[in-house]
Amino acid sequence: MNLDDFWANAIWSLAPSIGIGLIFWFVIRAVVRADRGERKAYARMEQKLRTERAQERQKTAAAPKEAPGDG
């Protein structure tokens, strides 16, 4: 057995593990990126909803209230 065969066997022995590791890394990376995008979208939606609710409260507070007995 010469040294070239040793290194070729070592590379071929590690290739499946490295391949699976790379696939795992890409999948986890995609999940993390999708989660980050989802959180940003949810934060924008939440901020829009809070702004709309604050505007509704301001309109309600600015509207004249009826006195008791008016009606």
Q: For 41-66, how does the pLDDT look when each residue is reduced to its tens digit (9 = 90+)?
A: 999 999 999 999 999 988 888 877 77
Question: Does residue 22 lie in a domain region?
Answer: no
Please indicate, yes or no, if residue 39 is contained in any of the structural domains: yes
Range of the domain at 49: 27-55
45 part of a folded domain:
yes
Can you give the C-alpha Rg of the chain in angstroms? 31
Which pLDDT does position 67 carry in this prediction?
65
DSSP state of 63: S
Rounded to two decimals, the pTM is 0.59
> Strand, helix or coil at 71?
coil
Structurally, the chain folds into a number of domains equal to 1
Q: Residue 31 is encoded by which pair of tokens?
A: 């999940």
DSSP state of 65: P
Kindly state whether residue 48 falls inside one of the protein's structural domains.
yes
